[in-house]
């Protein structure tokens, strides 16, 4: 069965924007590994599995009140998809120099690998505007 991984990526990002937990996790393979390379927010970087992602989803909704992925480029080849986006999120809590209600911005390059029609790997390079 052929999959449209570019469209599945769009579905995944739309689910993240909507805060739709069920739809987000429906995109993930049970063996998902999400790698966030070091950045201003996660200084040492992080590697997360499905259990961690599920446990932290609700917490994220208490920190960010709405987020958006403005996709600049999105393309796929085989079971891989790459995208570039500008991410914005409205903070519900203060973070360093930002106040609750301020918008945080990051420039993202992300690479997804699919297995069995689901995201099995996500590697993200997030460049945050100073905060």
Q: Find out whether 69 and 89 touch, Cβ atoms under 8 Å.
A: no
pLDDT tier for residue 2 given thresholds of 50, 70 and 90: low
**DSSP 8-state assignment for residue 19:** T
Global pTM value: 0.92
Q: Which domains, and CATH codes, for the chain? A: 5-128 (3.10.450.50)
Q: Which helix (H) or strand (E) holds 90?
A: strand 80-91
Percentage, residues of the chain above pLDDT 90: 92
- pLDDT in the model for residue 3: 79
According to the model, what pLDDT value does residue 113 have?
98
Instruction: Tell me the pLDDT tens digit for each residue of 42-101.
Output: 999 999 999 999 999 988 888 999 999 999 999 999 999 999 999 999 999 999 999 999
SS3 129: coil
């Amino acid at each position: 069965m052929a999959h449209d991984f570019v469209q599945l990526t769009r579905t995944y990002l739309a689910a993240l924007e909507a805060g739709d937990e069920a739809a987000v996790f429906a995109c993930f393979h049970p063996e998902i590994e999400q790698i966030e390379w070091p950045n201003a927010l996660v200084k040492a970087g992080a590697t997360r599995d499905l259990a961690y992602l599920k446990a932290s989803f609700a917490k994220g909704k208490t920190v960010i009140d709405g987020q958006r992925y403005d996709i600049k480029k999105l393309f796929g080849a085989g079971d891989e998809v790459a995208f570039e986006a500008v991410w914005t999120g409205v903070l519900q809590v203060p973070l360093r120099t930002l106040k609750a209600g301020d918008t945080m911005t990051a420039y993202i390059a992300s690479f997804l690998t699919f297995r069995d029609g689901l995201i099995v790997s996500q590697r993200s390079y997030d460049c945050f505007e100073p905060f």
